[in-house]
Amino acid sequence: MRNPLQEQLLKAGLVKKGKVAQVVREQAKARQGKQPPAPSPAQQEIERLRQEKAGRDRALAAEHNRQARIREQKLQARQLILDARVSPEGERLYRFATASATGSVIVGDAQARQLASGALVIAALDGGHAVIPRAVADKVRARDPDAIVVDHAAMPQVDDGDGTYDDPRFAVPDDLVW
């Protein structure tokens, strides 16, 4: 059903029949309420704030999950050290230097040789230190690299055998005459 103005415009040839039909359909849809109303600026602002809050919540949850994963890995490393620590077999103190202080553990002669060769490793455990086998140390290092205190196999070897010194800061000039 068209209104009289639409009829007059159609008879005068100012509009096409298809355009009038389209306008009638749009008006019918608007009356029936099938099309959602356009959001007001206040509603748009509320939606924007809701999305920002959801983004912050997601970032906070991701950080919380990352921290929980780190704590879980540290606890797994601690449990590995507790389960695999080697009991001391002697009365000899094996002294070593950490990043912040020096420490010592009680070992036997055989364990001291294994520590020096890298077969045993010293790990931090609850404010103290424990001696663990190399295989367990690799698993602990994968979970918590800071737990390994002394690992002679992973330390760079100083090569004193060939007598060369290759530090460019202290190079000896070629034309030096003695």
170 domain-assigned: no
Query: How far apart are alpha carbons 37 and 16 in whole angstroms?
Result: 28
Tally the domains of the chain: 2
Find the domain containing 8 and state its range.
1-32
Q: Tell if the pTM clears 0.85, that is, is over it.
A: no
Is 151 part of a structural domain of the chain? Answer: yes
Q: Do 68 and 25 share a domain, yes or no?
A: no
pLDDT tens, position by position, 148-163: 888 887 765 555 545 5
Question: 61 and 104: one domain?
Answer: yes
For residues 111 and 67, state if they share a domain.
yes
Distances (CA, A) of 131 to 59, 73, 137, 159: 40, 20, 9, 27
How far is the C-alpha of 86 from the C-alpha of 131, rounded, in Å? 5
Tell me whether residue 166 is in a domain. Answer: no
Q: Are residues 135 and 47 in the same domain?
A: yes
Residue 67 pLDDT level (bands cut at 50, 70, 90): very high
Residues 101, 127, single domain; the answer is yes
CB of 144 closer than 8 Å to CB of 74: yes
Residue 53 is predicted with a pLDDT of 95
